[in-house]
Each structure stands twice: as C-alpha cells, then as structure tokens.
Structure 1
C-alpha cells in the first residue's frame, strides 16, 4: 500500500538527513589525554611463567583484615617484537586469579606498553589473552552454518549484519564521542540499519515493508518509554567504574552525555528485539493468507495474534534470562552480601537494566498487535498468486 511506502521513505529520508547533520567532524578532546591513548597494545608470545613472591598491597587484604607483607604472584616472561625490531623478552605480572597452567609457554597474549616519558623508562604490563584466532574461528563457523541452513537469504543477512556494525563503528560511536546528541544519533543509526538490513535480508515486498513499519513504530515506543522511565526513576548514569572513567574522559559535560548514551543503549537494545518479532509476525500473516485465500482482515488478525501471543511469551522469557545470565556474577555478589531484594532491584545499576528491559518488552508487546493488524490489512488486499509466491505486492 502507498501509505506504507510513504512512511518508510519519510523515515529513511529523515535518518539520512540526521546522519548528515550529526556526522562527526572531529574527535572530542579528552579531559586527560594521557589517560585516553598513551598506552600501546602489543601481541606477544609467552616464554615461561611461574610463581614469585611479591610485596603485599592494600588490595591483598586477608580475611582477618590485615594486609600481608608478601603475596604470591604470577610472573610471565613474554617475547615481543615491534616495528621491525629484533625479538626481545619482557617480564610482567599477570592479573590475579591466573596460574602457570593458565599461561603455558607458547600462549599468545596482549601486553600494555607505556612509552618512556619525562626521563622515565618504558613500562610493560599485563593486558589480556590474544583471542583473535579462536573468536575468528567461531565467527567463521557461525557464518558457514548460517549460509548452509538459510542459503542465499542467510548470506544476505550476514551482509546486513556487517553493514549494521559498520554503521555503529563508522558513525554512531564516533558521533557520540564527538559530542553529538546520543539519542538523535541512535535513532538515525537504528533507522538506517533496520531499513537496510530488512530489505537486504528479506527482499523488497509489502511483507517486508509491513514488518519495517511495525519495527519503526516499536522503536518510537521504546524511545519514549526509555526517556520517561529514566526521568521517573531518577537514573544516574555513573554507576560503575567504566562509566565513571568515560565521564572523566568526556569532559565537563560527561555526565549529561552519559545520560544520552544510556538512552542510546535503550534504543539499540530495543531494535534487536523488535526486528525479530515484527518480521516473524508479518511472515506468519502472509503464510496464513496463502493457506486460506478467503480469510479476511479479522480472521487473519485473530489467527496471527494466536502466534503473536506465543511469541510474546517466549521473547519476554528470552529478555529476562539473557539479562540474568549476563549479570549472574553481580547477582551472586549481592546474594553473598545478603542485601534485601527490594533494595537490590532499586539500586542504580539494576534500575538501569530494569528500565532498559521493560522499555524493550513493552515496545515489543505493543509492536506485535500493531504489525499483525497492518499485515492483515495488506495481505488481505494482495493477490493470492503473489502471496503464494512470497512476493507480497499489493494491488
């Protein structure tokens, strides 16, 4: 239908204009440049690792409250070579919790190098494990399985995923760091992503356009709910060490920027959920129409909502358990501290996630009947031959 195309074109043009107006012209100046980028990350190969006695620090508090004078630490000798120089070895102390068995000879690790400055020698420190190869292998397996199972459509979906992350890395993150309004940037980026990805993965048709309109409507709902929830719950964005550090690096207006960054995260989280349910509902209605060409709008909507209710129930569980799994260490820590449940759930960090989760869940619940209704209207006015062929072009 023409009005669906008009809605999508309007959203796409608005997103393109917003991206052009908020495109980052230059990097934001950090509050402390030495903290922002003086460190250099170097890949190295472990030669040896073993226990060594080190001096105790205030972080090594014993159960009785005393600070031990000596503690056991893991010393790692690693071979590095940079900028064409000959390989050389450096000694670093691994992070707490690791033992020699965790860092055997030959392990690839990432070390932090702090260049010499003000008469001080360069300093090397433990960074992390080099995980590029195993992660790339997992990604390759995922891509191959997706193409093997879903065929050409799976390949198009993977291309859409690459484009989506290209938008995030090439536009959204630099724009937010450069000081552009994070909420506006998130809406523009999300609209550009969903328009591109849906049409690329599912093809240009009335069915895809219906799902796209439902996704955009849900995105508006999620944004409004996120803004309202953050205001009503008096959410403070600086709730962890990472957000505190980011606030410092962003400068005097860092806290205000973090509030917008939080809402940006709400929008992106909602996009991932909405994209799934809307295309599924639209496809379900089209299949119902193909199975029963005589079904009218009311019948298609009623039958589609039977599927939609199951989808709502399963997706709400998915959202809840995804958050519980990601935050399990924090939940266990709070259990050890025996904090009251009400106090725990209303604390800053949990309140942020609750608002984010509920905003996405409410947007999802409302987007499903909206998408189903639009799909029922459009599918009922589509020729049966086109519906059966999957093209879904309206008269």
Structure 2
C-alpha cells in the first residue's frame, strides 16, 4: 500500500523531491486559512446561507394541511390493539376459503395431514386498546396458507372504517413493531457514539435535525401546494449546511465540501429536469403515488419525482465531497512540498476508487429494492429493452443514473476546489505573521528546509566534537 507521500508525488516528479523532508506538524485539525481566503469563502457561502434561511421563512408551511381520512389504502385511521385469544377452528365452520389442492407432479396424492387444506384455521380475538372504541373486541380468521400467524398477547395495528357495519369496522393491517425498531435504533446510536465519540454524537444530532427539516418543512410544504423542486432545494440545502458544519466544524475544509455538494446538486437538478421531460415520465408509477395525487390533485407529481432525486442524492453526495476534501487536506499535510498538479492527481486516484464503489452501490441498492418487480419481468420473459423502457423501470433508471452522474462529477469538482484552497492556504516561510514575527508554519518546501537545517546542525556538532 502506498503512503500519503507516495500518492502526493507522481512518478514524473519524484526526482525533484529526492531531498528528504521532515514533518513538523501532526495530522490533527486542519491549519487555519488566511484571512483573505476566509473572506473569499464567506463571500460565496454567506449569501447562499442567507438565501436558504429566507427560503425557509417564506415557504414555511406551518404544519400539514387538515385532512379527513378517506378510508382507502394507506389513508385510513389506525388504532393499537392486542390479541387476547387464539383458537383453532374448522375452516368450513367459519366460512374461510381453503387454498386449492395442488396435484403432485408425479400424479400421486400428498400424504395426509401435510397439506394446507388439511390444517385447521386460526381464529384470533382482537381487543382495541386505543381510540374512541377502546375495549371493543372483534374476531379475525387466519387461513393455513397465510404468512402471518398470531399469538395471545401480541400487539397489532388495526384500521378503522366508521362507515362500515359495526362487526366489520375494524380489521388487522399489521403487527406492532415499535419495540424492535426502538431497540435497533438504540443499538445504532450506541455503535455510532462508541466508535465516533463526539463526532458520533454530533452526527446523531445532525440526523435528528435532518428528520426535523424533512417532517416539519419539506413534506408539509409540498402538501400545502408549494413547488416540490423549490422546496427540495431549500430543504436539502438546509440539511446540507446543518449536517456538514455540525459534524465537521466551521472550517475551510467543510466549506469546500459544501461548495462541491451544492454544485453537484445543481447539476443533478438540471439533468433530472431534462430527462424527466424528455422521457415523458409522469411520476405516477405506483398505488401510493396515485393515492397521494388523488387526495391532492394540485400536487405536481413530476416536481415530486425530481425533488425525490435531489433529496435521495444528497446523503451520498455529502459522503463523497467530505471524503475527497479530507483526502486533499491529508495529502497536503503529509507532503507540504507537493504542487497543485501532483496533489490533484493523487487525490483523483483516491476519488476514482470512490466513484467505482459508490456507483456500484447505487445500482445494487436499486436492484435489491426492486427485486420482486424484476422477477415479474423475468417471469414474463420480457426483453431488456421492454423492461428498461417501461415507465416504472425508466423512472428508477433516470433516478439512479442522474444521481450517479452528479456523484461522478462531484469528485473532480470538489478535488479541484480543495486543491486550490489548500494550496492557497499555506503561508510562505519568512513572511511576517500577525505578531510581527516570522511564520514558520508548513509551506511549500518547508519539510525539506527543516530537514536540511537539522542535518547542517548535526554536521556542525559532529565537527565540533572532532575538534
């Protein structure tokens, strides 16, 4: 494995750095930048942060619009309930439909007692524990081929349909997973804090802030009728500023990552808008989107699709830009004498590995999430062209590829910005500092000069000992 010094100097320039250099600084926090450079960065980021703050104030929804549940699909009021009793009954007695008997491929009858239709049905008594009808009980039947079984004492979620007959008003829709979800969240938080320590705590705070912006601003503002793209840009920018500066500090290094992320998000927005319109994507590819559009006809579904692309790309973009900026800074700290071209080349070698892994991650993440849908296309023996051009798949292809293009572009862009900033960041030896003395901080060639100075001092002491 190459060291940072090996990466920082290209093979073509290695003969120019034959003099060994010593490091008079550690790999701790990044050195502060010059006052002039701070002014340049602030001149770009302060107006941007102010625009984001104004956008939050102007578009702030003040809560989600009032809505009366329609009782269709997900748009149903739900209550908590508990299974109080489970008994086995004959399926015919409760008028439950038995699964059809499947003949054996060899024509032989399956052994008795091993088929689903030979097993009894399960009748569960459910007690509603919340809502206006708390304490009411109802019964539900589970056939032998059902995937979900119930046990006494199990917590479940029930849907309430007030317009239905009394005996049919409640139905079990899901099980209550509150406890395992909270335990998993606690394990996650514990792992982050133990490994990340203070940075881990700050990362969790930034994660909470991201959820607050998403749930209190982005979602309600879209439901209130604001332009989804504008809401996503403002909300995503706020999440980016909070997360990056809270986790990585108010430094020039973080500011470079912010600039790289912002430029990449703009590229993703432009490409996403272009290809959504060119491919004639409507954004209505599933029942959930259709239901939302039916409940809120004024909602711009195409804008919602583009907003999803931007928000979905933001998390991975933060990772790429922060990593690339940190790589440039660490390479410069390892070899302060490295020029801009050598520094950029070394950081890009790291970035190319990052690009390969991130793009592969995005594609596999989508393939894993859409595996049942891809299986349906495989069963239907559809051609690759037919599958790719269908809207449900084309939408995800546009989402994945547009986000990947933004990620790929963020690597050279962020690396270039970081290289320019970190090179301008280092003061030259011999320049007066703020106290009127001479700056001895790391600058181009400072490592070699320091090493040479120590070598001359050791030689002088040796000559004095000989005399």
Distance 2:288 2:143 in 1: 18
Shift in alpha-carbon separation, 1:134–1:11, aligned structure 2, 3 A: same
Could you tell me how far apart the structure 1 residues matched to 2:218 and 2:43 are?
26
Q: Give yes or no for the alignment of 1:107 onto 2:154.
A: yes
Q: What is residue 272 of structure 2 aligned with on the other side? A: 226
Q: Given the alignment of the two structures, is residue 76 of structure 1 paired with residue 124 of structure 2, yes or no?
A: yes
Q: Confirm or deny: 8 A CA contact 2:123 2:139 kept in the other structure.
A: yes
Aligned residue number for residue 49 of structure 2? 12
Instruction: Give 1:48's aligned residue.
Output: 86
Distance in 1 (CA, whole Å) between partners of 2:441 and 2:80 is: 57
Q: Which moved more, 1:155-164 or 1:44-53?
A: 44-53
Q: Which has the higher contact order (CA 8 A, sep 6+)?
A: 2
Query: For structure 1, which segment, 82-91 or 203-212, has the greater mean C-alpha deviation from structure 2 after superposition?
Result: 82-91
Report the CA distance shift for 1:40/1:215 in structure 2 as closer, same or farther (over 3 A).
same
Match of 1:249 in 2: 295
Count of aligned pairs: 375
RMSD: 3.0
Tell me the secondary structure at the aligned position of residue 338 of structure 1. coil
Q: Higher helix proportion, which one?
A: 1
The aligned residue for residue 8 of structure 2 is none
Contact 2:83 2:150 in 1 (8 A): no
Compute the displacement of 1:86 (Å): 7.1
Please say if 1:282 is aligned against 2:282.
no
Instruction: Name 1:237's counterpart in structure 2.
Output: 283
Secondary structure in 2 aligned to 1:377?
Answer: helix
Matches within 5 A, 1:350-389: 350-383=393-426
- Which stretch of the first structure deviates more once superposed, 122-131 or 200-209? 122-131
Contact 2:203 2:243 in 1 (8 A): yes
Shift in CA distance, 32/104, structure 1 to aligned 2, threshold 3 Å: closer
The structure having more radius of gyration, on CA atoms, is 2
Which residue in 1 is equivalent to 2:360?
Answer: 317
The aligned residue for residue 134 of structure 1 is: 180
1:213-257 CA distances to partner (integer Å, 9 max, x unpaired)? 100111111111110110111102111111111111112x34xx1
Closer/same/farther in 2, CA of residues 32 and 47 from structure 1, 3 Å limit: closer
Distance 1:41 1:219, change over 3 A: same
Give unmatched runs, 5+ long, in structure 1. Answer: 65-70, 389-395
> Residue 196 of structure 1 aligns with which residue?
242
Q: How far is the alpha carbon of 1:381 from its aligned partner? A: 2.2
| Secondary structure of the corresponding residue to residue 92 of structure 1 | strand
Tell me how far 1:15 sits from its aligned partner: 1.4
Give the conservation status (yes or no) of the 8 Å contact 1:190–1:271: yes
The farther-off stretch of 147-156 and 72-81 is 72-81
| Residue matched to 1:306 | 349
Distance 2:442 2:66 in 1: 55
Match of 1:68 in 2: none
Structure 2 counterpart of 1:154 = 200
Name the SS for the 2:425 alignment partner: coil
TM-score with structure 1 setting the length: 0.86
Query: Alpha-carbon deviation of 1:50?
Result: 4.5
Contact kept? 2:241, 2:258, Cα under 8 Å? yes
Any conservation in 1 of the 2:218–2:235 contact (CA below 8 Å)?
A: yes
Distance (Å, rounded) in 1 between the aligned partners of 2:235 and 2:347: 30
- CA distance 1:326–1:173, shift in 2 (3 Å): same
Structure 2 distance, partners of 1:163, 1:386, is: 38
